[in-house]
Amino acid sequence: MNSLTLRLATEQDIPCAMSMIQAAKDYHKEIGLDQWNEDYPARSDIEADVSTQKGYFLCDGEQKVAYLCFDLDGEANYNELEGQWLTPEDSIYLVIHRLAMDGNQRGKGYSSAVFPLAEQFCRERGIHSIRVDTHAENKIMQHLIPKAGFTYCGIVYYDGSPRTAFEKIID
């Protein structure tokens, strides 16, 4: 790994982001994980990320190795948590959504690298909390998220499907 950075995605980057999303969907299908489907994430989700400046690439030097969304506008589904967040409901927090790796980069540790960069992103903006959720059967993320110092907080639902929710307080 060279110098890892986050780079804001542009309109011209949408095909690259969609390629990473499709690679993740294919991988999920290959391992029997029903986290994403044909309708989600859709191109319209990525276009919305880009137009609102929430879409980012994790870059290793100049190479884009992953796509993700950093959202500071909250997540409506998090208001219905079965459990308890570490910070108050009305806190401003970063949500990490749609982390998708370039299929050729899987297994190289890039997913773990996202979390320290997310913390740096928060510190630069005076944000003191990161929240993230993942499918209960996504064993990779179920391992990586707590390893990055996140605390399990409970269950949230997307269209009736449960997701495990985590939070990390940023000093």
Q: If DSSP codes are grouped into helix, strand and coil, which group holds residue 171?
A: coil
Peptide bond into 15 cis (omega under 30): no
Written as one letter, the residue type at 99 is L
pLDDT of residue 2: 64
Q: Is the CB of residue 132 less than 8 Å from the CB of residue 166?
A: yes
HSE of 120 in the Cβ direction (CA atoms, 13 Å)?
A: 8
- Give Cα 28 distance to the centre of its chain: 15
pLDDT of residue 171: 87
pLDDT of residue 96: 97
Q: Point out which residues pair with 135 in neighbouring strands.
A: 163
Note the residue count of the chain: 171
Q: If DSSP codes are grouped into helix, strand and coil, which group holds residue 8?
A: strand
Q: If DSSP codes are grouped into helix, strand and coil, which group holds residue 11?
A: helix
HSE of 42 in the Cβ direction (CA atoms, 13 Å)?
A: 4
pLDDT of residue 1: 59
Q: Reply yes or no on domain 4-169 having CATH 3.40.50.300.
A: no
pLDDT of residue 97: 95
Mean pLDDT, consecutive 10-residue stretches, the chain (171 aa), reads 89 97 90 81 96 97 95 95 95 96 84 94 97 91 95 94 96 87
